[in-house]
Structure 1
Amino acid sequence: MVTKITWQKAGHVTEPGRYMFRFGWLNVAAEDLAIWEQFPDATFTLVQMPAGAADGMEEFHLGAFEVPAHPLPDRQ
């Protein structure tokens, strides 16, 4: 099963780093944030990293992304 995440689901994070979510740890790089800043509706594929987290939680980074053909209207 391929799991995807949007910037909205990631809580609109603004800094690179390691964030805890209900599915495990998510590592967000500066390059990922640059894509979300340019394309706020982009959806990234979650890529599971090899086991090794000391706390036993799964760890992910952002992989390939998709930009919707028709961006969603502003959500204000």
Structure 2
Amino acid sequence: MLAGVVERLWVEFAASLERASVAEVVRTCRGYLAGVPAGALPELVERLAREELADRTRQPTEVEALLLVEHGLEAEGN
């Protein structure tokens, strides 16, 4: 049921993430939505997973990076 979700999201995020990472996020998001009616799951899982994947692959803006440096923190993934 969610194989199509994994495939669509992997195509979208293939430049930044491996397919296994995308599948893991989809599985995790499916778990978060355990009480949702089955008919709504594919769309809701895809939306939630897309947001999570976008957050994981987003690079900090220049201002965010400067603030991280100012506070002695490193940007995720750097």
| TM-score using structure 1 length | 0.29
Structure index of larger Rg: 2
Q: Which is helix-richer, 1 or 2? A: 2
